[in-house]
């Protein structure tokens, strides 16, 4: 039984070098065999795995960035039913693409997907480049996505590093330096060293599945792990300590007020502009925290490392002013069909719970009648 080990870094003099030791895996060939054998019987049945079409691989990989697998499944089916080929995505209106992305969050991914589809059609005759370098030239395609498409769709020996494979590789090699950001460089080198010349797509997916199903962040199932004999962290009893994550950025707290300007059954929306979060999506305008209006609730949401506490106020107006270029009046019934930001959608739900002008008139007539009755009874 071969055990993976950490290579001791040594300079030419034989003294330990100042650089942290580069992680290595001793028996890469045996590890590949064991992992792929395990994958053949244990792999997850995921809708995007039924195709090796680079377009399908790419869409699924982009959706899977920052979104859980279970949640992606339904969005993936819907998206692929609407945009089954790269040409159909390239020629779609951006608002339509964003609408089909709604609920997945991180809309920048959808916009880049759209832009990259247009680049594939315009510059590559609707064929995906068949090299990692070519894939990296497309908008929004980074090292991980390029590696995933190259290995899964084209079976090129391209490494991948994402949260699951990074954890598995760091543990296998007993790599106890901080990972994340530039700290991932040694893991990329390790991934490149272990990826096979043939069958790279299967190997990469197996690594990710092992991380998702066995080598989980908390309480990994080392007892049932096909790579337990290869694993330095397991051998050293240090599984709980590895990987060491680089310190996360402290969250930034923001307070703001969303203003629902309402004229009858219409509300005023603003389209988020270039450089703003959720560019191209509709939302309710924001004002500094404490802005005046009738309070109708609160929403809390997070964007990157920001934690936002948003008060929602309503202002009813009797005259619908001509909206600015990036704004428009929308009937409350039509909000459902618009591509909206995640907090905008939640604010829309608060708006829908408010009585309309007709109901308010009925309520106030009823209230006036009740007051009159009370005065008569009380002799007032
Ligand atoms: S033995 Fe444990 S820590 Fe090592 S790869 Fe397997 S599940 Fe992960």
In angstroms, the Cα distances linking 276 to 65, 200, 279, 300, 308 are: 20, 39, 6, 18, 15
| Residues 94 and 224 grouped into a single domain | yes
| 308 CA distance to ligand 1 middle (Å) | 38
3 state SS of 307: strand
84 and 165 within one domain: yes
For residue 344, the enclosing domain spans 252-358
Residues 184 and 264 in one domain: no
Domain total in the chain = 2
Tell me the per-residue pLDDT of 187-210, one tens digit each, with 9 for 90 and over.
999 999 999 999 999 999 999 999
Q: What is the pLDDT of residue 182?
A: 83
Shared-domain flag, residues 151 and 115: yes
Shared-domain flag, residues 325 and 197: no
Establish whether residue 4 lines the binding site of ligand 1, counting it when its CB lies within 6 angstroms of any ligand atom: no
What local confidence, expressed as pLDDT, does residue 247 receive? 78
Last residue of a domain, one of 245, 263, 293: 245
* Cα–Cα dist 11/19, whole Å: 10
Q: Which residues of the chain have pLDDT under 50?
A: 1-17, 363, 379-380
Q: Distance from first CA to last CA of the chain, Å, rounded?
A: 96
Clarify whether residues 170 and 38 are in a common domain.
yes
Q: What does the pLDDT look like over 3-13, one tens digit per residue? A: 333 333 333 34
pLDDT at 369: 58
Whether 17 is covered by a domain: the verdict is no
Same domain, 206 and 263: no
| Residue 21 placed within a domain | no
In a domain, 18, yes or no: no
Instruction: Kindly report the number of other CB atoms within 10 A of residue 23's CB atom.
Output: 23
Report how far ligand 1's centroid is from the alpha carbon of 217 (Å).
10
Tokens standing for residue 380 = 């007032």
At 335, which CATH number? 3.90.79.10
Residues 105 and 176 in one domain: yes
**CATH number of residue 154's parent domain:** 1.10.340.30
Asked if 112 and 259 sit in the same domain, the reply is no
Pick the catalytic residue from 19, 61, 88, 276.
Answer: 61
Helix or strand holding residue 136 (H, E): helix 132-136
172 within ligand 1 shell (Cβ under 6 A): yes
Note whether 113 and 33 are same-domain residues: yes
pLDDT at 367: 57
Position 376 scores a pLDDT of 55
What confidence score (pLDDT) does residue 361 get?
Answer: 55
Is the CB of 171 inside a 6 Å radius of any atom of ligand 1?
Answer: yes
Domain final residue, candidates 205, 224, 245 = 245
CA atoms within 13 Å, Cβ hemisphere of 236? 17
Q: Tell me if 214 CB under 6 Å of ligand 1.
A: yes
pLDDT at 97: 94
* Pair (145, 215) in one structural domain: yes
Whether 175 is in the pocket of ligand 1, judged by its Cβ within 6 Å, is no
* Residue 56 CB coordination number (10 Å): 21
- Nearest to 269, CA basis, from 184, 317, 340, 375: 340
Q: Which atom of ligand 1 is nearest to the CA of 211?
A: 8
Nearest CA to ligand 1 atom 2: 222
Last residue of one domain, picked from the residues 228, 245, 262:
245
Indicate whether 380 belongs to any domain.
Answer: no
Give the separation between CA 373 and CA 380, rounded to whole angstroms: 10
Q: Percent helix, strand and coil across the chain, each rounded to 5? A: 50, 15, 35
Ligand 1 atom nearest 214 alpha carbon: 7
pLDDT computed for residue 368 by the predictor: 58
Query: Are residues 65 and 199 located together in one domain of the fold?
Result: yes
How far apart (Å, rounded) are the C-alpha atoms in residues 68 and 235?
Answer: 31
Respond yes or no: is residue 61 known to be catalytic: yes
Q: Is position 199 within any domain? A: yes
């Amino acid at each position: 039984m071969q055990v993976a080990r950490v290579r001791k870094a040594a300079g030419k003099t034989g003294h330990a070098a100042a650089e942290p030791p580069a992680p290595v895996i001793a028996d890469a060939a045996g590890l590949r065999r064991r992992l792929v054998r395990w994958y053949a019987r244990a792999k997850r049945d995921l809708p995007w795995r039924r195709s090796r079409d680079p377009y399908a691989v790419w869409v699924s990989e982009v959706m899977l960035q920052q979104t859980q697998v279970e949640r992606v499944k339904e969005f993936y089916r819907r998206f692929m039913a609407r945009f089954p080929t790269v040409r159909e995505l390239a020629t779609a209106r951006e608002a339509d693409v964003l609408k089909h992305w709604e609920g997945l969050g991180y809309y920048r991914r959808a916009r880049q997907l759209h832009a990259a589809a247009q680049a594939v059609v315009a510059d590559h005759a609707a064929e995906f480049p068949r090299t990692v370098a070519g894939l990296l030239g497309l908008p929004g395609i980074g090292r991980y996505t390029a590696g995933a498409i190259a290995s899964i769709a084209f079976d090129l020996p391209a490494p991948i590093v994402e949260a699951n494979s990074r954890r598995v590789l760091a543990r296998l090699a007993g790599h106890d330096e901080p990972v994340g950001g530039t700290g991932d460089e040694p893991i990329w080198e390790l991934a490149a060293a272990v990826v096979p010349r043939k069958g790279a797509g299967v190997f990469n997916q197996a690594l990710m599945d092992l991380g998702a199903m066995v080598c989980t962040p908390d309480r990994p199932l080392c007892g049932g792990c096909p790579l337990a004999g290869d694993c330095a962290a397991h051998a050293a009893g240090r599984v709980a300590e590895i990987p060491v994550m680089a310190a996360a950025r402290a969250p930034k707290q923001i307070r703001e007020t969303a203003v629902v300007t309402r004229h009858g059954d219409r509300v005023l929306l603003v389209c988020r502009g270039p450089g703003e979060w959720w560019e191209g999506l509709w939302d309710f305008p924001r004002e500094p925290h404490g802005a005046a209006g009738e309070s109708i609730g609160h929403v809390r949401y997070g964007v990157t490392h920001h934690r936002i506490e948003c008060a929602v106020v309503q202002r009813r107006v009797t005259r619908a002013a001509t909206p600015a270029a990036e704004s428009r009046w929308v009937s409350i019934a039509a909000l459902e069909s618009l591509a909206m930001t995640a907090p905008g959608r939640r604010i829309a739900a608060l708006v829908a719970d408010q009585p309309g002008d007709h109901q308010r008139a009925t309520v106030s007539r009823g209230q006036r009648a009740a007051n009159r009755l009370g005065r008569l009874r009380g002799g007032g």
